[in-house]
Amino acid sequence: MNSPSPARPGIHIEALTVDYGGAAVIDGLHLDIERGSFFTLLGPSGCGKTTLLRTIAGFVAARAGCIRFGERDVTRVPPHLRDIGMVFQDYALFPDKTVSDNVAYGLRARRVDAENLRRRVGEALERVGLSALGERLPAALSGGQRQRVALARALVIQPQVLLMDEPLSNLDAKLRLQVRQTIAELQAEAGITTVFVTHDQDEALALSHRIGVMNRGRLEQVGTPAEIYRRPATGYVADFVGAANLLPVTLSSAVAAGERTSVALGGAQPVAVPAQAVSALPAGAALLMARPETLALRPDTSDAPDSAAVSVRVLRRQYLGEKTSYRVQLPGGEQLQVDRHGPGHDALQVGDPGRLRFDPASTLVLAP
Ligand SMILES: Nc1ncnc2c1ncn2[C@@H]1O[C@H](COP(=O)(O)OP(=O)(O)OP(=O)(O)O)[C@@H](O)[C@H]1O
Ligand SMILES: [Mg+2]
């Protein structure tokens, strides 16, 4: 990525509260987005992603707190003076204007002269691969083409901040990947500080420098894609990003102090599994988290005893080509999803006994 120019400030949000009719939808939120970076707000429907994005844009007023772009306090600045480019979920193109005129809109509003306007619109359309379609009306474009017009329109004004609200959600699977690639390239090229909203974890993991996982108007965790996936801070994050086995366990005080040790899983016959506590949790109820691909499962053959492994039985299996996904049951009744890759990954059948091993490096203990 190009080094961002000072004209591309970071976004700093402090103690932001936004409410609709008295109920706080954003609740004392803090967030720092590094300049020139690609930041994604990820969370389920209704958690406040659009509200936060529209507050950053200035379309929704904050009740308390402040938003700064670099050193500049923009909390009370109207949207058209914030120097933002915005891509809306439903494109919001002008239906009676050609593609070129749609893209030119922000430049006309800024009174850019005719020659520069023509050049910049031409460049913007070329960047999104739509040079040939400048004279068409939006109705004569495919969904993916419309989305790229919306992108060109947001980028042509060379904004300090680019805000995108689920820009890929109306596209089919193949177009999503194409436009996703275009967005990644344009952002990296221009180095614009970008906030991208999605509820699609794959999109978030693939595009972002950092991700903020939202839960009911608050940020549950902020981190790089690998941090969010490998070290989720809470059961909520683990469950929302990727597949996770979450099993209730009781923490002894030693584990609560942050040691890597064994945690006893409940059930009729408690089994000890190695795990690391990610933060100093209080002793008591907690969640054990293991991703399906970190669990090792093999057929139960008596010739190779393995004292660290747990006996399980295969309840269900799904053959998925490059892997087989198994549902297995522990002696105490708890169920887990295990994904086996590599040669012979489909060797176990429903009803077979197996031996299961937890990976000490990736099995976590989380707050309940
Ligand atoms: N104009 C409004 N008036 C009152 N409540 C609103 C308004 N807009 C949103 N809300 C409420 O605020 C909460 C957050 O909405 P928001 O649109 O920010 O969620 P979201 O995370 O973008 O969800 P989605 O993924 O479905 O787009 C929801 O409970 C919603 O019902
Ligand atoms: Mg939304």
Q: What is the pLDDT of residues 103-114, one digit of tens each?
A: 999 899 889 999
Q: Best mutation site among 17, 27, 49 for ligand 1, i.e. most ligand atoms within 8 A of its Cβ?
A: 49
6, part of any domain: no
pLDDT (tens digit per residue) in 191-210 = 899 999 998 999 999 999 99
Percentage, residues of the chain above pLDDT 90: 62
Atom number in ligand 1 closest to CA 47: 21
How high is the pLDDT of residue 189?
A: 86
Are 54 and 209 in contact by the 8 Å Cβ rule? The answer is no
**Range with the lowest mean pLDDT among 5-9, 21-25, 330-334?**
5-9
321: left (phi over 0), alpha (psi -120 to 50) or beta: left
120, part of any domain: yes
How high is the pLDDT of residue 227?
A: 96
- CA 89 to ligand 1 center in whole angstroms: 14
Task: Determine the structural domain holding residue 144 and report its residue range.
Answer: 11-230
pLDDT (tens digit per residue) in 128-167 = 889 999 999 999 998 888 888 998 999 898 898 999 999 8
Single residue among 195, 230, 265 that ends a domain in this structure: 230
Average pLDDT over residues 90-107: 91
314 and 207 co-located in one domain? no
176, part of any domain: yes
66, part of any domain: yes
312, part of any domain: yes
76 and 187 co-located in one domain? yes
Q: Is residue 2 pLDDT above 50, yes or no?
A: no
**Range with the lowest mean pLDDT among 57-61, 170-174, 286-290, 316-320?**
170-174
328 and 365 co-located in one domain? yes
How many domains is the chain partitioned into structurally? 2
In whole angstroms, what is the distance from residue 117 CA to residue 110 CA?
10
pLDDT (tens digit per residue) in 122-132 = 999 988 889 99
Single residue among 173, 204, 230 that ends a domain in this structure: 230
142 and 76 co-located in one domain? yes
187 and 281 co-located in one domain? no
87 and 216 co-located in one domain? yes
- CA 149 to ligand 2 center in whole angstroms: 21
CB-ligand 1 contact for 25 (6 Å cutoff): yes
